[in-house]
Amino acid sequence: MTPPLDLTVVTVCMNRREHLLCTAPVLARWAWHAEHLVIDWSSEQPLRREELPADPRLRLLRVEGEQAWNPSRAYNFACSQARRAWLLRLDADCAPTPAFQPAEAIATGGVWVGSGPDGRFGQFLLPTARFRAVGGFNEAMRGWGFEDKDLRARLEAQGLELALLPADWIAVIPHSEALRTLAVPAGSGRLQRSRSLALKQAQMLANRLVAAHRPWSAQRPSSRYRQEPTGVWRAEPDSIPKLEGPAAVEIAQARRLVYWSRFLAVPELFLELLPEARFPAPDAAGRELHWSHLVYWASARRLLKALLWGLRLLLQGRSAP
Amino acid sequence: MNRREHLRITAARVAAWPWHQQHLILDWSSERPLQREELPSDPRVRVERVEGEREWNIARAYNAAIGLATEATWILKLDADCWPNAVWSDPLVGLCATSLLIGEGPEGRNGQFLMARSAFQGAGGFHELMRGWGFEDKDLRLRLERLHGCRLQRLPEAAIGVLHHDDGLRAGVDQVAARWPCSASYRRSLGKARIRASMLANRLTAAHAPWSQAVATCRYDYDGLVWRLRPGTLPRLPTAAAREVEDARRIVFWARFLAIPEVLIEQMPFSLFPAGPVAPPVRWWHRLYWHGVRSIAVLPATLLRSARNLLQPLAQRGLGRRAGSPPL
């Protein structure tokens, strides 16, 4: 039997019960960690301890009152609650494979980051003190996208060389992009997929702009949480970092323009000229959609795409030998 | 770089200002080198030239210039189109060694500053991975704010004079115009597209590669006449980030210039909407599309906006009159 390392595995879950019920038993059989900290980030149906493996290393905490998925804040909270000297981030859809033997990686004392497809990129193994020294994730970001690259860039800016966790060390449950971003309810319809993709791209750009306008560091105040008598945690609303001023306006505008431009295939130049009330900021519930958008999406946008495909075929035919 | 006409006017105005000890002008590989004789005979003027640069890079150019000002304690950064107004007297009064004064106001005043050379270099100077124009000043401010807390002060708008010119000049569109005749609206559109692309690319650069004093900057060698970049000292973005930034620059440029949705440009062959070493190359069919399809496509949205701008004040006036009318 391998003695456990001074290692906390952190997993944050928001409405991903099915994934967690598959991956938590794998971790319960894994011998290397001393603690598996699972954070229930305001899942609609709260996670119950009884549905997770009876492994005494597993600790379940719930953060109440969060309206949206925010991996930056969620993982910062999780890592602040970790009790061990090393952190291994494993999302709810990730589990270590038998090839993952962390003792050697930990012995190097370095920072290890995920590599490979399907979300492996965002996982990491590093000293807890190192994560805290860099300030963790950038909490001014919203939603999914770029928070992992931003963390890497800041670690590298400290002069650290990042080693790669081989792709075959982590197994990932395959699932759709819509589920990853939690931007829209999972669905297989073309409209949903198109909207989900547009939201994802808008969010990815917005988070890049946040990183540019609001570089994160350990000196930035991050969200504070209070434990309630029932045991659940809740963020103090005033402590949640918010962007203000011209940067906030610029980022909100970029997010709105990219979303509509991608969703309806309308040039951003036109969207800037058209009334904002007709193309408002998107939200998770899709309240920005009007019947006229849906008609345009189903007709003009498709026609434009068909023309494009025709042009592409023509060009490919001409360039073919 | 290629701003001789501006410099001739502003250098004379700087020479009339009594408060500085040296006016260091760095000629960033202008096509026709600046000659000392063309500038005021003020002995405080010092001209240096960096040879071999193909494109304007404000971050590298100013880092090199401030690097050459080794005897200076204080640096006043003034672009070639700027000068200190006569109303601004004794600029160091009331300042301490950690004071940072940032320009405020329209037409590029935002990019000018007055600060100790040590403060500038302590923050790592400008972000040298940025290209072209835009965000390098904001990025520097953000780093200065982080290092020095809230000690950034504002230079009054009246302190700095600026020669008026359009964004096309800023984006180097005058060189395009020199090659073939083009209308003012075409030049404006090209300039805006270049600036928009550059502004986004530089934001992405700042996001992917945060700058600091720890990052090695370019080095230059002097051959007795001019300075040249020392090979191997040019910082580079990691490959994946560089690809993303250059792709964003290319796509935003074409989307803005030709009013084509970005999502469509992404799917079209690269050769149709190519990237260029300095700026994406505009071919005859792009110009044809701009004058034909784009001009027609933009018309309805432009008319709609013009109508709204026209009707909005009328509607507000009508509402105001109704609100002010006596009750029946």
For residue range B236-246, list pLDDT tens digits in order: 999 999 999 99
pLDDT (tens, 9 = 90+) of chain A, 321 residues, equals 566 889 999 999 999 999 999 999 999 999 999 999 999 999 999 999 999 999 999 999 999 999 989 999 999 999 999 999 999 999 999 999 999 999 999 999 999 999 988 888 999 999 999 999 999 999 999 888 899 999 999 999 888 899 999 999 999 988 765 555 554 454 458 888 888 889 999 999 999 999 999 999 898 899 999 999 999 999 999 999 988 899 999 999 999 999 999 999 999 988 988 888 889 998 877 788 889 999 999 888 888 888 878 877 777 776 654
Q: Establish if A68 belongs to a structural domain.
A: yes
* Average pLDDT of the residues in B12-32: 92
Query: From the list B203, B298, B305, which residue is nearest A212 (CB)?
Result: B203
Closest CA to A172 of A123, A127, A105, A126: A123
How confident is residue B68, by pLDDT bands cut at 50, 70 and 90? very high
Residue A270 with chain B: CB contacts under 8 Å: 259, 297-298, 301
User: What is the nearest CA distance from A150 to chain B, expressed in angstroms?
Assistant: 7
Amino acid found at B134: G
pLDDT at B328: 39
Look at residue A310 and tell me if it is in a domain: yes
Please, which residues have CB within 8 angstroms of residue A84's CB and are 6 or more apart in sequence? A6, A7, A8, A33, A34, A35, A128
Burial class of residue B245, CB neighbours in 10 A (0-12, 13-18, 19+): buried
What are the tens digits of pLDDT across the range B102-115? 888 888 888 899 99
A149: which chain B residues are within 8 Å (Cβ-Cβ)? 208
Q: Given CB atoms, is B82 within the 8 Å cutoff of chain A? A: no
Domain residue limits at A72: 7-179
Rounded Cα distance between B177 and B125, Å, is 33
In this prediction, residues B222-242 reach a mean pLDDT of: 93
Using the beta-carbon criterion (under 8 Å), do A270 and B298 form an inter-chain contact? yes
Predicted pLDDT of residue A286:
75
Nearest by Cα to B115 from B82, B79, B148: B148
Cβ-contact A179, A92 below 8 angstroms: no
**Beta carbons within 8 Å of B13's beta carbon, 6+ residues apart:** B83, B84, B161
Shared domain for A165 and A297, answered yes or no, is no
Contact B256 A269 (CB under 8 A): yes
Residue A269 lies in a domain: no
Given an 8 Å threshold on Cβ–Cβ distance, is A208 in contact with B204? Answer: yes
Cβ of B259 within 8 Å of Cβ of A269? The answer is: yes
Write down the CATH superfamily of domain B4-181. Spore Coat Polysaccharide Biosynthesis Protein SpsA; Chain A (3.90.550.10)
Angle, helices A147-157 vs A190-213, to 10°: value is 30
Give how many domains chain A has, as a whole number. Answer: 2
- Residue B308 sits at the chain A interface (C-beta within 8 Å): yes
Q: What is the pLDDT of residue B277?
A: 73
Residues B244-256 have a mean pLDDT of 95
Q: Which pLDDT does position B174 carry in this prediction? A: 62
Q: Does B293 touch chain A (CB under 8 A)?
A: no
**Binary contact (A274, B272; C-beta < 8 A):** no
Long-range own/partner contacts, residues B165-172 (CB < 8 A, 24 or more apart): B165/B6, B165/B81, B166/B191, B167/B191, B167/B192, B167/B195, B170/B108, B170/B133, B170/B195, B171/B132, B171/B133, B171/B195, B171/B198, B171/B279, B172/B2, B172/B55, B172/B56, B172/B278, B172/B279
Above 70 in pLDDT, residue B179? no
Q: Decide if the complex's ipTM is over 0.90.
A: no
Spell out which residues of chain A touch residue B215, defining contact as CB-CB under 8 Å: 157
Mean pLDDT for the stretch of residues B136-165? 85
pLDDT of residue B172: 64
Q: How far is CA A185 from CA A142, A178, A180, in A?
A: 18, 7, 11
Using a CB–CB cutoff of 8 Å, tell me whether B206 touches chain A: yes
- Tell me the C-alpha distance between A176 and A182, whole Å: 10
C-alpha span between A14 and A45 (Å, rounded)? 9
Q: What is the DSSP letter of B50?
A: E
Q: In the block, which residue shows the tokens 């993982």?
A: A75
Residue A11, phi then psi, degrees to nearest 5: -135, 130
- Residue finishing a domain among A156, A179, A202: A179
Contact B80, B28 (CB under 8 A): no
pLDDT at B157: 86
Nearest to B301 among A212, A219, A273 (CB): A273
Check CB contact under 8 Å for A269 and B298. Answer: yes
Across the interface, do B204 and A150 touch by the CB < 8 Å criterion? no
B264 to A265: CB separation less than 8 angstroms, yes or no: yes
Residue A263 lies in a domain: no
Cβ–Cβ contact B212 with A under 8 A: yes
d(CA A144, CA A150): 12
Among A146, A157, A305, beta carbon nearest to B212: A157
Residue percentage of chain B with pLDDT more than 70:
91
pTM over 0.80: yes
Q: Among A159, A179, A199, where does a domain finish?
A: A179
Residue of A nearest to B260 (CA): A267
How many angstroms separate the first and last alpha carbons of chain A? 63
Q: Do B267 and A265 touch (CB under 8 A)?
A: no
For tokens 């240096």, the residue is B48
Chain A residues with at least one Cβ partner in B under 8 Å? 146, 149-150, 153-154, 157, 159, 208-209, 211-215, 217, 219, 258, 261-262, 265-270, 273-275, 304-305, 308, 311-312, 315-316, 319
Q: Does any CB of chain A come closer than 8 Å to the CB of residue B96?
A: no
Position with higher pLDDT, B123 vs B279: B123
CA–CA dist B203, B185 (Å, integer): 27
Please answer whether residues A140 and A210 qualify as being in contact, where contact means their C-beta atoms are separated by less than 8 angstroms.
Answer: yes
How many angstroms away from the CA of B228 is the closest CA of chain A?
27
Whether residue A171 sits in one domain with residue A44: yes
Q: Compute the nearest-CA separation of B60 from chain A (Å).
A: 19
Predicted pLDDT at B327: 39
Q: Which residue of A has its CA nearest to B204?
A: A208
Predicted local confidence at residue B326, as pLDDT: 45
Question: Could you tell me which residues come within 8 angstroms of residue B207 by beta carbon, excluding any fewer than 6 positions away?
Answer: A146, A150, A153, A208, A209, A211, A212
